[in-house]
Amino acid sequence: MFASCFSPSSSALLSFGSRLKCGTNNETSQRFVRSVDKVMGALSKLIAAQGWGTFSDVDPPFTVFGLGQCYQHVNGKGCKLCFNTAREELRRCVPATSGRIFLDWCFQRFDNYMFYNEGVDAKYDHLICGSPAGVYQQDFQRELDQVIRKVTNTALENNGYAAKAAKGGVTTVYALAQCWRAIDQETCSECLRHAASGLRKCAPGAEGKAMFSGCYMRYSTHRFFGPEAETEDNKGFSPWVIIGLASAGVACAVLGAIGTYISYKRFSKKKGLDDIPATRNNTSLNYMYGTLEKATDHFDESRKLGQGGAGTVFKGILPDGKVVAVKRLFFNTRQWVDQFFNEVNLISGIQHKNLVSLLGCSIEGPESLLVYEYVPNRSLDQILFVKNTINILSWSHRFNIICGTAEGLAYLHGGSGVKIIHRDIKSSNILLDENLNPKIADFGLACCVASDKSHVSTAIAGTLGYMAPEYLVRGQLTEKADVYAFGVLMLEIATGRKNNVFSERSSSTLYLVWKQYKAESITQAIDSTLKGRFDEREASIVLRVGLLCTQSSVALRPTMSEVAQTLTDRRCVIPSPKQPPFLNASVLSPEDTMTSSFMGSSALNDPRTQKPGT
């Protein structure tokens, strides 16, 4: 599981640059102390099994979130030794409500809020520079720049890890970069960029370490990792690039068909553009690169609409005056043009009023381009979470957005004839047209599932706060993962609160809605900026269905078609949630099945499934 390398002693781990940082707030309750111990114990098991892990213990008012990871070049024995040392040292922070420790082989942190996707934190990020190397500074700076640039670029193509050496005429500089497995590629890129900038300032120091919230970067004139730990330049697609491809909205069947990097390789043999059949060039799906370049004013910054993990989106005006959105991918697909084009053809055939349409692509230029329907308004998050008196969404608009998104997602799950799992339903992926009608964008991390498959096992990809427990913990993917994310989205729209933003003084949106539900005052959770101007029945339906969608058990969640029907058909009787929303991985049971009992005859008619007074 871990590459073989040096196995350090416990004392060696507490060497140059080791850093323990404890928070300034204290909590002396024994319940809190027990939660910290529980999280650390769970992390120990995860580290032993897979080299990294996250775990949370949520028992309001006390919440503890933990993360631990060994650096990828460390072997199993060294990882275990390092983590045990880190755990012992980090335990000294208690009763502080937070703490983090960097050692030469691993990292561990606990805090009382969800921090898993943090990249940089000016308050706690730390840079350490060693003594001068005693070499000509200009030559050393050149070698340092070279190796830092290499590990930064390679790590982004290699699932967040790289180890390199720059061999110059004066000396050899070794460097290593490691992002935490819990963060996404965009956060990893941000963290590595800041770390690299800081380490360059360490020259002519013989060693430097950047210890940041989301990553670790180190260089030295002495080898500190084994030769076998060095990473080669990535000639294929990394897991993140495959995810990025999916984010472009065209790799649905690629991910469903290949599943793994190995099976993908049969498409990696380079093909010339001369091999593209004439029929493909003549189709309306194929756009000339020059046409799109001119349409976007040569990708001028003033035309930029946004940027994601797979590419940058620009507003384009075609020669016939049609306005489109052009996504400029960060990678080129010319070496597998047939497969790329086939997927564009597949996705472009999926049409629904609540889905952003993919119009075509260009594969002939220096980078690949995707052409989408242009949606003039902003994404939902830019309106919903900006608190001012002008852009407050009325309840009728919110309810319309919820219903429209449910219909679009139900169509993806089966209405198009192909079951498509979006995998990244969230507020920023819901675009609003001029009438504030919703359109699901970025088919994202979309994945096709054969009709005879109950689930697929896959590397997790998505956004923390929206990911279903069985997917987050076990990588088990069904359409019920989208149902969970949609449930979170429903509760966010109704309450006006983000779920994936945690602070030391607040609870998650899901927990607050559940608390109001148990107190039989569920509509008290509705966004206060509406000042009571909302339909009580609709609000109750939205909040209760949101809780049903976010239950830990897959079997207890409804399907999206059932959700869409319940929202629009007032005759439907809504069953009571049997579980609180997912807050802790420890509540998962291995017996969870893949079938839904929502809206069955017993649920519709049995008064025992209904909450009193409804």
What's the rounded Cα separation, in Å, for the pair 308 and 113?
25
Q: Of the candidates 116, 53, 160, which has an alpha carbon nearest to the alpha carbon of residue 474?
A: 53
Residue 262, classified by CB atoms within 10 Å of its CB into exposed (0-12), middle (13-18) or buried (19+), is exposed
- The C-alpha atoms of residue 260 and residue 365 are separated, in whole angstroms, by 28
For the chain, what is the largest distance between any 2 Cα atoms, rounded to a whole number of angstroms? 83
Positive or negative, the CA dihedral 361, 367, 373, 379 is: positive
Cα–Cα distance, 244 to 239 (Å, whole number): 8
DSSP state of 335: G
Please, what sign has the CA dihedral across residues 93, 98, 102, 105?
A: positive
With beta carbons less than 8 A apart as the criterion, state whether 256 and 448 touch. Answer: yes
Cβ burial, residue 140 (10 Å; 0-12/13-18/19+)? buried
- Tokens 């969640």 belong to residue: 557
Considering 184, 424, 442, 482, which one is annotated as catalytic? 424
Alpha-carbon dihedral 474, 440, 374, 273, rounded to 10 degrees: 40
How far are the Cα atoms of 47, 187, 301, 311 from residue 304, in angstroms, in the given order?
A: 42, 20, 5, 11
Ordered alpha helix ranges (H), 202-330: 239-247, 252-258, 261-264, 278-282, 289-295
CA angle 593, 547, 600 (to 5 degrees): 55
How many CB atoms lie under 10 A from the CB of residue 529? Answer: 12
**233 is annotated as an active-site residue:** no
Token duo for residue 19: 């850093």
- The 3-state DSSP class for residue 292 equals helix
Q: Which residue has the tokens 């969870």?
A: 592
Residues 110, 64 contacting (CB under 8 angstroms): yes
Catalytic residue IDs: 424
